[in-house]
Amino acid sequence: MEEIIEELRERNEPVPVPLELPDEEMLVDVQEQILIHLPFALREYLLTVSDVVYGRLEPVTASDPHAHTYLPEVASVAWDRGLPRDLVPLCQDGDDYYAVDAEGEVFLWQAASGELAEETWETVWHWCRDVWLESGY
């Protein structure tokens, strides 16, 4: 996990208006809005590197309700499009969503079929390493 955090920090791209990391109180607000407890690794991600901007993928954030990546808004749209309600969106990729289950496993939900892809990632950190860091072209 520490190596992935370090790698993301090194690749963080400068932006005109940098994102901020949320605090625990903000995460409680997010949980109350989406009515789901955030899985542990997703909480860790939000608290440590959700301010990183890198590559084409834009994972969810929890500090700015006006951001297009704000978790409650992303979740609302994803669930409306058919993402199973027990999954918490991690990142939108076109019409598809990477999402986290209660145990912290990451799935890819494919909008065209309305089904989960076979490939999964053990944790949010595995997803960060295998998908997000690999997407930055």
Which residue ranges form the domains of the chain, and what is each CATH number? 2-132 (3.40.1580.10)
CB 102 within 8 A of CB 39: yes
In tens, the pLDDT along 82-134 reads 999 999 999 999 999 999 999 999 999 999 999 999 999 999 999 999 999 99
In tens, the pLDDT along 36-61 reads 999 999 999 999 999 999 999 999 99
CA Rg, the chain, in Å?
A: 14
